[in-house]
């Protein structure tokens, strides 16, 4: 067994780290306070090949492996959770399904500009009545000559305010329930009948452009069906398996920031005649946080390695997402505790970390759903 990164993996990690430390971290608090989508940072991530991270060079992507992608995502998320979320959604939830299920024509037309970072992608699955139970999708797609006519709406869509492209789930056979769901590529900039509304009053990841997507007799070309008609839910769930490596990386990235900042504070804040780091109560917190975050990172790298080597990774990705987000949430609570009253104010980033990290226990399948996925895999008949 070899724990060392390859030269290429280290190079991608360093590139992401430099961008994160020099250009993203200094603006993270302002992006959060102003609820501002970071167009400029997206442009920089595009220039460095991160927006087309795992996409094949054939379609203008960087062709990086999943381990590199996870390492880069941890670095970006460490500086700004919103930026990590934007990057992960674009890569894992738009570029991946088009790469995996798209036709050659769709890849040239939609994947390549997304991989170049000229167009931002989003993923439209969730609806008011379809959350954990994704099979409850009610948005309809009806054939009409050379088009599909979409009617319905999606909520909570990350990147939704900035995206030009969307991978969307809609019912093509309403009488067949979950088996009647298909997926589509929607060109959001050129679809009459489409509109969007911001959903900004949220706890954290405030710069991630969350939106409601509305389709009222929205007409898209017939050839924008993605993959096999009726296989949409399966395709979306497969997409989310990979996406969970991304969520876990976001969580651990923020978790690493929390630990670094808690250590620095504990070594400089003095009470009872010395730094609070001399108290065992503080040391034990730091030891637990660091051990749990390392374990979570190893779970991520295992899942990513399996994906890179063509092995199944549904269970491993769910474990990494569930454990990584749970321990990062715990670290955020302990981080505030270490900073005491100062942690409660936005003078320090710790309160933002606490607000930002909560979502990683919820999106791309809540942690209750991850436990169901893990248990289903454990109990599977051989
Ligand atoms: C900020 C944000 C960004 C998001 N981005 C996107 C996006 O880009 N695209 C997209 O499609 N969606 C997105 N989502 C939606 C997200 O994936 C859903 O919110 C999530 O899957 C949970 O669905 P729900 O909110 O409807 O909760 P519900 O499904 O109503 O769950 C409520 C509670 O019940 C529990 N529960 C439900 N079913 C079970 C069960 N069978 N067993 C045990 N417990 C259960 C849940 O774990 C949870 O605790 C986003 C959400 C947020 C908040």
Q: Are 220 and 184 in contact (CB under 8 A)?
A: yes
- Ligand 1, atom 50: nearest CA belongs to which residue? 156
Per-residue pLDDT of 65-81, as tens digits, reads 999 999 999 999 999 99
pLDDT, residue 31, reads 98
Mean pLDDT computed over every residue of the chain: 97
In this model, does residue 382 exceed pLDDT 80? no
Residue 2's pLDDT is what? 86
- pLDDT > 90: percent of the chain: 98
Query: How does strand 165-171 pair with strand 121-124?
Result: parallel
| Residue nearest ligand 1's atom 26 by CA | 131
In this predicted structure, what is the pLDDT of residue 357?
98
Q: Is the CB of 125 under 6 A from ligand 1?
A: yes
Give the distance (Å) from ligand 1 centre to CA of residue 262.
30
Show Cβ contacts of residue 177 under 8 Å, excluding neighbours closer than 6 positions. Answer: 135
CA–CA dist 155, 215 (Å, integer):
12
Does the Cβ of 359 fall within 6 Å of ligand 1?
yes
- The rounded distance, in Å, linking the Cα atoms of 129 and 135 is 10
Give the pLDDT band (50/70/90) at residue 381. confident
Q: What radius of gyration do the chain's Cα atoms show? A: 21
Q: What is the mean pLDDT of residues 262-281?
A: 98
Task: Assess whether the C-beta atom of 324 lies below 6 angstroms from ligand 1.
Answer: no
Tell me the mean pLDDT in the region 87-110.
Answer: 98
- pLDDT exceeds cutoff 90 at 1: no
Closest CA to 33 of 267, 210, 204: 204
Q: pLDDT value at position 326?
A: 98
**Distance (Å, whole) CA 358 – CA 119:** 28
Give 310-366 pLDDT, tens digit per residue: 999 999 999 999 999 999 999 999 999 999 999 999 999 999 999 999 999 999 999
Ligand 1, atom nearest to 160 Cα: 8
Spatial separation of the C-alpha atoms in residues 278 and 234, rounded to whole Å:
53
CA of 59 to the centre of ligand 1 (A): 32
pLDDT of 142 reads 98
Alpha-carbon gap, residue 173 to 179, rounded angstroms = 8
The 10s digit of each residue's pLDDT in 132-188 is 999 999 999 999 999 999 999 999 999 999 999 999 999 999 999 899 999 999 999
Strands of the chain (E only): list them: 121-124, 140-144, 147-157, 165-171, 181-187, 194-198, 211-221, 225-226, 270-271, 274-275
Phi, psi of 6 (to 5 degrees): -75, 165
Which residues are paired to 185 by β-bridges? Answer: 167
318 neighbors 339 (Cβ within 8 angstroms): no
Cβ–Cβ < 8 Å for 346, 352:
yes
CA-CA distance, 287 to 379, in Å (whole number)?
34
Separation of CA 365 and ligand 1 centre (Å) = 6
In angstroms, the CA 112 to CA 58 distance is 9
Average pLDDT over residues 37-44: 98
CA distance 202 to 359: 10
CB-based contact 145:207 (threshold 8 Å): no
pLDDT for res 157: 98
Whole-structure pTM value: 0.97
Q: Could you report the per-residue pLDDT of 251-268, keeping only the tens digit for each?
A: 999 999 999 999 999 999
Report CA(363)–ligand 1 centroid distance (Å).
6
Instruction: Decide if 21 is catalytic.
Output: no
Q: Looking at residue 239, what is its pLDDT? A: 97
State how far the Cα of 371 lies from the Cα of 36, in Å rounded to an integer: 34
pLDDT value, residue 197: 98
Does residue 224's CB lie within 6 angstroms of at least one atom of ligand 1?
Answer: no
User: For 179-204, how does the pLDDT look when each residue is reduced to its tens digit (9 = 90+)?
Assistant: 999 999 999 999 999 999 999 899 99
Kindly report the protein residue whose alpha carbon is nearest to atom 38 of ligand 1.
132
């Amino acid at each position: 067994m070899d724990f060392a990164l390859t030269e290429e993996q280290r190079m991608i990690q360093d590139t992401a780290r430099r961008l994160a430390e020099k250009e993203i971290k200094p603006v993270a608090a302002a992006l959060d306070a102003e609820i501002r989508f970071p167009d400029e940072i997206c442009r920089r991530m595009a220039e460095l090949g991160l927006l087309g991270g795992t996409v094949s060079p054939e379609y203008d992507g960087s062709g990086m492996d999943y381990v590199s992608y996870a390492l880069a995502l941890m670095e970006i998320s460490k500086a700004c959770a919103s930026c990590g979320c934007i990057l992960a959604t674009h890569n894992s939830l738009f570029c991946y399904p088009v790469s995996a299920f798209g036709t050659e024509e769709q890849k040239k037309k939609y994947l390549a500009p997304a991989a170049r970072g000229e167009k931002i992608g989003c993923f439209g699955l969730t609806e008011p009545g379809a959350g954990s139970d994704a099979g409850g999708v009610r948005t309809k797609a009806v054939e009409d000559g050379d088009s599909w006519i979409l009617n319905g709406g999606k909520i909570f869509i990350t990147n939704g305010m900035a995206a030009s492209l969307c991978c969307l789930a809609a019912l093509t056979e309403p009488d067949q329930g979950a088996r009647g769901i298909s997926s589509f590529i929607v060109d959001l900039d050129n679809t009459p009948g489409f509109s969007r509304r911001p959903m900004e009053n949220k706890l954290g990841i405030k710069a991630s452009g969350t939106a409601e997507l509305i389709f009222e007799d929205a007409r898209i070309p017939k050839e924008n069906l993605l993959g096999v008609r009726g296989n949409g839910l399966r395709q979306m769930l497969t997409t989310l398996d990979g996406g969970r490596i991304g969520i876990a990386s976001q969580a651990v990235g923020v978790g690493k920031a929390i630990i670094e900042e808690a250590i620095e504070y504990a070594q400089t804040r003095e009470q009872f005649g010395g730094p609070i780091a001399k108290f065992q109560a503080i040391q034990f917190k730091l030891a637990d946080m660091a051990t749990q975050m390392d374990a979570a990172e190893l779970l991520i790298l295992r899942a990513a390695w399996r994906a890179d080597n063509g092995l199944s990774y549904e269970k491993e990705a769910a474990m990494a997402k569930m454990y990584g987000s749970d321990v990062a949430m715990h670290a955020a609570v302990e981080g505030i505790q270490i900073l005491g009253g100062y942690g409660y104010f936005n003078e320090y980033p710790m309160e933002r970390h606490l607000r930002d990290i909560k979502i990683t226990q919820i999106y791309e399948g809540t942690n209750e759903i991850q436990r169901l996925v893990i248990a289903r895999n454990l109990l599977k008949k051989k």
